[in-house]
Amino acid sequence: MNRRETNLLQTLTHSGPAFYTWIAFLGAVISWGIFAYILQLRFGLIETGMGDQISWGLYITNFVFFIGISHAGTLISAILRVTDAGWRRPITRMAEGITVVALCIGSAMVVVDMGRPERLFNVLRYGRIQSPILWDVLGVTTYLTGCVLYFYLPLIPDLGILASDRGLPAARRKLYSVLSLGWTGTPTEWKLLEKAISVMAVFIIPLAISVHTVVSWIFAMTLRPGWDSSIFGPYFVVGAIYSGAAAVILAMCIFRRVFHLEDYLAPVHFRNLGWLLLSFSGLYLYFNINEYLTISYKFQEGEKRLLTQLFEGPFSTYFWAGQVTCILIPFVLLVAVLAVKRCEPFLIPVLGLASFLVILGAWIKRFVIVVPTLASPFLPAQRLPEKWMHYSPSWVEWSITAAAFAAFLLLYTVLAKLFPVVSLWETREAEPADVEHGTEAVGAFGPRNWGPVATAVLLCVLGGGLARGETAAKNKKMEPLPVTISATWKALPPEAPLPQPATGTYSARHTFLFSKPLPGFSTGRAKADEVAPEMRPVEIEAQARDARGEPLAFQAIGFSLKGALGTLDFGSRPSDGEGKVKLVIRDRRYGRYPVTVSFEGDESHQPGRATVLVDFGPRPAPALPVAGVLISPYFSPEIGLPFLFFYGVMWCAFAYSFGYLVLWRMRRERAHRRPL
Amino acid sequence: MSSTRRGFVQSLMRGSAWAAGSWLGVRSLVSALNNRELPERALAPTNQKWVMVNDLAKCDGCRDCTKACTKMHFVPPQQEWIKVYEITGNSAAGSYFLPRTCMHCDNPPCVRACPVGATYKRTDGIVLMDQDRCIGCRNCIAQCPYSARSFNWGEPPHTPEELAHKYDVETNYPHRKGVVEKCIFCPHLLRAGKLPACAAACKMGAIYFGDELEDAVTNSKGETMQLSKIAENGAGFRLMEDLGTEPRVYYLPPVNRKYASPEEKRRHDAGLA
C-alpha cells in the first residue's frame, strides 16, 4: 500500500471536528424539513404555495432536478468505461455515488408531492401502464436497482482489500468482509467481475437515457403549451447529463480539497471533464434555442401567453437568470479556462465555480419548465383566489427542499465515509504516469474485446306497435265530440347515407398509433361501438275520428316523443281528407320510445290523443368510446409491451451480471477452485 | 454451432423460430388478460350516452348553475365544478359567457394518464372520480386542457348535511383531503330521471342535457331539442376540438342574444349605464 492509498484510507477513519459540525448542520436542516413534512402530512398540501392553477411546484422541480443530477454518475462513468478511457478510474466511484444518492432523493420528492402518500401502493395495486407516471415508476425503480449494482460491483475488490486491512476497526472490517461476498481476488473472480461490470456498463447507458426521457414524457404527454413538445425527451436528457457532469466536477473539487486527493485527481481529469461540460453547455444551448425559437417564431395563442410570461412577465427573472447561470456564464468561464493559456492555473477553482453555476442554473431551469406552463392554461384564469394566480412557495416547501439537499449531502457524505471515494483497485492498475497521458477524446467509442452486446432500444324489434286508443270520457257539453285517434308505425328501409363533404381518404381510426389494437391483440376496449348500428327511418301513421266515426279532416295533429328527461316536440301535421296523417322521422335515435299523437280540440271536438310505442332500432351495446385512446381499464399491449420489454431486458441484464456472474458463478468457482 | 454458412443460416432460423414462438406466447398471454368484460364500475346503470348542450345565446352569466352545483354537491369553497367564463378572444370581436363543466371527453386525457385508474370512463360517457383510489398526484390536473379539475389542498370544511351522507362515487361527497375533484354530471340525479343540478337551476334555460342515443336534450324549462338538428340554427361547436379530446359537451354560438353582453354588464355594474 503506497502513500496515496494510505492517505485515501485515512479519509475513512479520520474525522475531525469539522466533519462532525458538518453532520450536525445537515442533521439540523433535515430535522427541520421533517418537521415541515409532518405539518404537511397533518394539514395537507394547503401548507404549500400550490393551488388549482399551479398545481405542481418546488417538489416536482426537485424531482426533475435530482433525476437529472443522477445522470452524472452512471452515464458518465458507463460511457467512459465502455470507451475504455483510462483517466476515468479515479472519478467513477464519486460519479456513481452521486447517482445512487440523487435517485433516492428524487424519488422521495414525488412521494412528498402526493396528496395521499399513504396510498402509494395503489400504484402497484391498480397501476395502469398507459399512464406516464407508471413509466416513471418502472423506469426509476429499474434505474435505481441498476445504479446500486453498478456502484456495488466495482466496489467488491476494494471491500476485499479493506476487509484485510488491519488498520481498520473490527466492526468495519466485518461489514466489509460480508459485503465483499468472500472476494479473494483469483483470476477467475477478476474475469467474472470484469464481465459483470462491462455488461452493466453497456445496459446502464440506454437505461439512463430512457429514465430521463420518461421523466420528460410526464410533461410532454400533456396538451399544455410549453410541454407539448416533441423534443422534450432529448432536451431533458442533455440537460440531465449537463447538470450531472457539473455535479461530478463539483464533487471532485470538494473531495480533492477536503480529502487531499491531489495524488488521484490531477488537472488532466478536470480538463477532460471540463471539455465534456463545455460541449454539453453548447449542446444544451442548442436545445434551448431550438425549443424557444420554434414556438416564439409562430407565437400561437397558448404559447404566446407562456412566452410573454417567460420573456418579460412574472417569470422573466427566473427565465433569464436560468439561461445566464446555467449556460452563458459557465460557457464563458469554461472557454477561458480551457482555451486561454494564461488562465490555466485557475483551472480547478474556475471549473468548480462553473459547475456550481450549472447546478444552480439547472435547478432554476427545471422550475422554469414546470411552473410557467401551469400558469398559462388554455382557458383564462378567472374567479380564482388571488393566491392561486401566482405561485410563491411556502416556508414548508422551502424547508423540505432544503432538507432534500441536506439529505443528499448527508447520504453522500456517509457513502464517502463508508467506502473509499476513489476506487483502489482501478487506480492500482493505472500508474500515475499513465494518467498524465490519458487525454483521449471523451466521446469516442472504441470497440472492446468482450464482444458486441446488442443494445435493445425501444424504443332494435320489427312488427306492429300496440295502438292504444284513449277516449276522453268527458261529456260535459253536447257540442264537442270526443275524438279517437289510432296510430301505427312502421320502419322504413334504411336509406343510403347522404353524401358527405370530402374529408380526404384517411380514416382517423387507422391513423393514430394507439387508437387501434395491435394486430392479433384484443383489448378490453369497445367492440360493439366499432360499428354504429344503422339509422332506421320510421313512419308514424295516425287516423283521427270523432265519436260518430267521421274522420277529422284537415286538422292539425301533433306528434311528440317522450324521452328520459324531456318531451321532444315534432310539431303538428295537417290531416288529409280521410283524417289520416303521416310523419316520417329520420333522426339519430335508438331504442323504444312512446310517441304521442294528439289533437288539441276545437269548438266542435274534444282533445284526443293516442300513444304508440315506436322502436327506432336497437341501442348499441354499452361500451367505452372507440375514440378513447388508451383509456382501457386493462393493460394496453400497444403501449405496455414496449415498456415492459425494455425494462424487462434491463432486469435480465441485472440478473445475469449480478445474480448469475457474481453471486452464482463466483461462489461456485470459488467452491470448486476450478479454472474458468 | 459451426462457423459455416449453413451454421449461420441454421442459427438464424432457430432465432426466428424463437422470436415467433415468444410473440405467440406474449400474444396469447395479453389476450387472456384483456379478453374480459369491462369491470363492474365501468358499466353504467342504463344504456344511455349523456350529452350536454350549452346555448351560449341564452347564457347571461348569472352563475345560478354554479351556485346550484355547489349547494347540491357541497362543493368545497374556492372550487367551481361548473365555472362561468367570460371569453374574450379579441376585444373587437366582443365577448360572451361560457359555462364550463367537465367535458366528459370520449378521449379523456385525464383517464389516459391516471396512474391508478382513479378517474375512469363509464359506458354512459361519464368520467367519474373514485375518491377511494386517488393518490393525489395531480397528473390529471396537468393533463386537463379545460381546467376542469380541482384539488382538496386541505381538509375541506364540512357541514352536518354533507357528513350525513355516506360516500358514494356517484355523488363524490363527503369530500376528502388530498384528492382531485370535478363535475361528474350528477349521476345520482340521472338515475332518478332528473336533470343535473346546473341544468335544472338555469333560469335562462341555456343548459340542455340528454341522451345522445335518444337524439334529444332538455333544459330547465322543459324545452327539448334535437341534438342532430343543432346545425339548423347555426352550427354548434365543442371546446378546443383541435385537441382531439372529443368532448361530450356542445356549445351553440352566442348569436342574437337577448341580454347584456359581458361589457355592458360590467358598465352597468360600474354605474356607468
**B19 and B96 part of one domain:** no
Average pLDDT over residues A402-417: 95
Cβ-based neighbours of A596, under 8 Å, separated by 6 or more? A559, A560, A561, A562, A609, A610, A611
- Count of domains for chain B: 2
* C-alpha separations of A1 from A130, A161, A162, A424, B103 in Å: 55, 10, 11, 10, 72
Q: Does residue A503 fall inside a structural domain?
A: no
Chain B residue numbers with beta carbons less than 8 Å from the beta carbon of A126 are: 116-118, 133
Residues 633-652 of A with CB under 8 A from B: 633-635, 637, 641
Task: Say if residue A513's pLDDT is above 80.
Answer: no
Average pLDDT over residues A129-144: 95
Average pLDDT over residues A120-148: 94
Distance CA B206, CA B101 (A): 13
CB–CB contact B224 A131 (8 Å)? no
All three cell numbers of A514 = 394507439
Average pLDDT over residues A232-257: 94
**Minimal-distance CA residue of chain B relative to A301:** B89
**B135 and B105 part of one domain:** yes
**A66 and A185 part of one domain:** yes
| One-letter identity of residue B206 | A
Q: B107 vs chain A: nearest CA distance in angstroms?
A: 4
Distance CA B49, CA A421 (A): 64
| Region for residue A614 given its phi and psi (left: phi exceeds 0; alpha: psi -120 to 50; beta: otherwise) | beta
Are the beta carbons of A281 and A324 closer than 8 angstroms?
no
Q: Is the CB of B100 inside 8 Å of chain A's CB atoms?
A: yes
pLDDT at site B224: 92
**Minimal-distance CA residue of chain B relative to A639:** B112
CB–CB contact B145 A126 (8 Å)? no
Give SS3 for A301.
Answer: helix
Cβ-based neighbours of A70, under 8 Å, separated by 6 or more? A98, A99, A102, A103, A106, A143, A147, A211, A240, A244
Cβ-based neighbours of A107, under 8 Å, separated by 6 or more? A63, A140, A144
pLDDT tens digits, A320-341: 999 999 999 999 999 999 988 8
Q: Does residue A508 fall inside a structural domain?
A: no
* C-alpha separations of B79 from A53, B70, B73, B148 in Å: 11, 8, 11, 10
CB–CB contact B137 A113 (8 Å)? yes
Residue A433's Cβ-side half-sphere holds a number of Cα atoms within 13 Å equal to 0
Cα B230 from chain centroid (whole Å): 21
Range with lowest mean pLDDT among A64-78, A439-453, B177-191 = A439-453
Q: Is the CB of B117 inside 8 Å of chain A's CB atoms?
A: yes
Average pLDDT over residues A582-601: 90
**A449 and A465 part of one domain:** no
**A301 and A350 part of one domain:** yes
Task: Say if residue A458's pLDDT is above 80.
Answer: no
pLDDT at site A471: 38
pLDDT at site A441: 39
pLDDT tens digits, A538-578: 999 999 888 888 888 888 999 999 998 989 999 999 999 88
State ipTM.
Answer: 0.91
Task: Say if residue B88's pLDDT is above 90.
Answer: no
Chain B residue numbers with beta carbons less than 8 Å from the beta carbon of A137 are: 115
Are the beta carbons of A348 and A253 closer than 8 angstroms?
yes
Q: Which of A371, A242, A219, A619 is nearest to B47 (CA)?
A: A619
Chain A residue numbers with beta carbons less than 8 Å from the beta carbon of B143 are: 221-223
**B29 and B65 part of one domain:** no
All three cell numbers of A60 = 416536482
Three-point CA angle A465, A470, A476, nearest 5°: 170
Q: What is the residue whose three cell numbers read 348569472?
A: B62
Q: Which of A368, A302, A312 is nearest to A54 (CA)?
A: A368
Distance CA A95, CA A83 (A): 16
Are the beta carbons of A127 and A137 closer than 8 angstroms?
yes
Average pLDDT over residues A383-410: 94
Torsion sign across C-alpha atoms A24, A27, A29, A32: negative
Average pLDDT, chain A: 84
Q: Is the CB of B60 inside 8 Å of chain A's CB atoms?
A: no
Give SS3 for A553.
Answer: coil
> Which residue in A120, A381, A524 is closest to B38 by CB distance?
A524
**Minimal-distance CA residue of chain B relative to A563:** B214
DSSP annotation of A659 reads I
**A429 and A467 part of one domain:** no
Q: Does residue A520 fall inside a structural domain?
A: no
Cβ-based neighbours of A299, under 8 Å, separated by 6 or more? A307
**B123 and B243 part of one domain:** yes
Task: Say if residue A502's pLDDT is above 80.
Answer: no
pLDDT at site B34: 66
Cα separation of the two ends of chain B: 95
**B79 and B121 part of one domain:** yes
Chain B residue numbers with beta carbons less than 8 Å from the beta carbon of A222 are: 109, 113, 142-143
Q: Which of A456, A506, A411, A315 is nearest to A101 (CA)?
A: A411
CB–CB contact B214 A563 (8 Å)? yes
Distance CA A422, CA A5 (A): 9
Q: Which of A665, A205, A122 is nearest to A457 (CA)?
A: A205
pLDDT at site B131: 94
Q: Which of A205, A202, A211, A195 is nearest to A658 (CA)?
A: A195
Mark A111-135 as b/e (b = at least 16 C-beta within 10 Å): ebbbbbbebeebbeebbbbbbbbbb
**CATH code of the domain covering residue B133:** 3.30.70.20
**A428 and A568 part of one domain:** no
All three cell numbers of B56 = 351560449
**Minimal-distance CA residue of chain A relative to B190:** A565
Average pLDDT over residues A634-651: 89
pLDDT at site B257: 82
pLDDT at site A1: 62
**B28 and B70 part of one domain:** no
Q: Does residue A640 fall inside a structural domain?
A: no
Distance CA A188, CA B96 (A): 79
Average pLDDT over residues A471-481: 55
**B10 and B80 part of one domain:** no
Domain that residue B121 falls in: 40-269
Distance CA B50, CA B249 (A): 9
**B117 and B146 part of one domain:** yes
| One-letter identity of residue A204 | I
pLDDT band at residue A630 under the 50/70/90 scheme: confident
Q: Is the CB of A418 inside 8 Å of chain B's CB atoms?
A: no
Chain B residue numbers with beta carbons less than 8 Å from the beta carbon of A223 are: 109, 143, 145, 243, 245
**CATH code of the domain covering residue A22:** 1.20.1630.10
pLDDT band at residue B32 under the 50/70/90 scheme: confident
Percent of chain A clearing pLDDT 90 (strictly above) = 54
Chain B residue numbers with beta carbons less than 8 Å from the beta carbon of A628 are: 106-108, 111-112, 121, 246
Q: Is the CB of B125 inside 8 Å of chain A's CB atoms?
A: yes
pLDDT tens digits, B139-148: 999 999 999 9
Are the beta carbons of B57 and A651 closer than 8 angstroms?
no
**B13 and B69 part of one domain:** no
Ranges A169-178, A323-332, B91-100, B256-265, most confident: A323-332
pLDDT tens digits, B166-193: 999 999 999 999 999 999 999 999 999 9
Q: Does residue A262 fall inside a structural domain?
A: yes
CB–CB contact A522 B195 (8 Å)? no
Are the beta carbons of A330 and A379 closer than 8 angstroms?
no
Q: Does residue A632 fall inside a structural domain?
A: no
| One-letter identity of residue A643 | F
pLDDT at site A531: 52
**B112 and B16 part of one domain:** no
pLDDT at site A80: 85
Residue of B153, B181, B183, B202 for testing the chain A interface, max A β-carbons within 10 Å: B153
Q: B164 vs chain A: nearest CA distance in angstroms?
A: 23
Q: Does residue A281 fall inside a structural domain?
A: yes
Query: Would you call the peptide bond into B174 cis, given omega within 30 degrees of 0 as the criterion?
Result: yes
Are the beta carbons of A443 and A282 closer than 8 angstroms?
no
Residues 149-168 of B with CB under 8 A from A: 149-155
**A478 and A387 part of one domain:** no
pLDDT band at residue A456 under the 50/70/90 scheme: very low
pLDDT band at residue A427 under the 50/70/90 scheme: confident
| One-letter identity of residue A284 | Y
Torsion sign across C-alpha atoms B160, B162, B166, B167: negative
Range with lowest mean pLDDT among A37-51, A329-343, A468-482, B246-260 = A468-482
**B127 and B201 part of one domain:** yes
DSSP annotation of B225 reads E
**A398 and A465 part of one domain:** no
- Count of domains for chain A: 2
CB–CB contact B149 A52 (8 Å)? yes
**Minimal-distance CA residue of chain B relative to A637:** B30
**Minimal-distance CA residue of chain A relative to B138:** A55
Q: Is the CB of A367 inside 8 Å of chain B's CB atoms?
A: no
Q: What is the residue whose three cell numbers read 405539518?
A: A39
Name the residue with higher pLDDT: A404 or A535: A404
Residue of A565, A614, A649 for testing the chain B interface, max B β-carbons within 10 Å: A565
CB–CB contact B227 A641 (8 Å)? no
Domain that residue A579 falls in: 461-492+532-619
**A142 exposed, middle or buried (CB, 10 Å; 0-12, 13-18, 19+)?**
buried
CB–CB contact B224 A563 (8 Å)? yes
**B67 and B179 part of one domain:** yes
Q: A396 vs chain B: nearest CA distance in angstroms?
A: 14
Range with lowest mean pLDDT among A385-399, A423-437, B128-142 = A423-437
Q: Is the CB of A119 inside 8 Å of chain B's CB atoms?
A: yes
Distance CA A496, CA A493 (A): 9
Distance CA A348, CA A253 (A): 7
pLDDT band at residue A434 under the 50/70/90 scheme: very low
pLDDT at site A494: 77
Average pLDDT over residues A624-637: 81
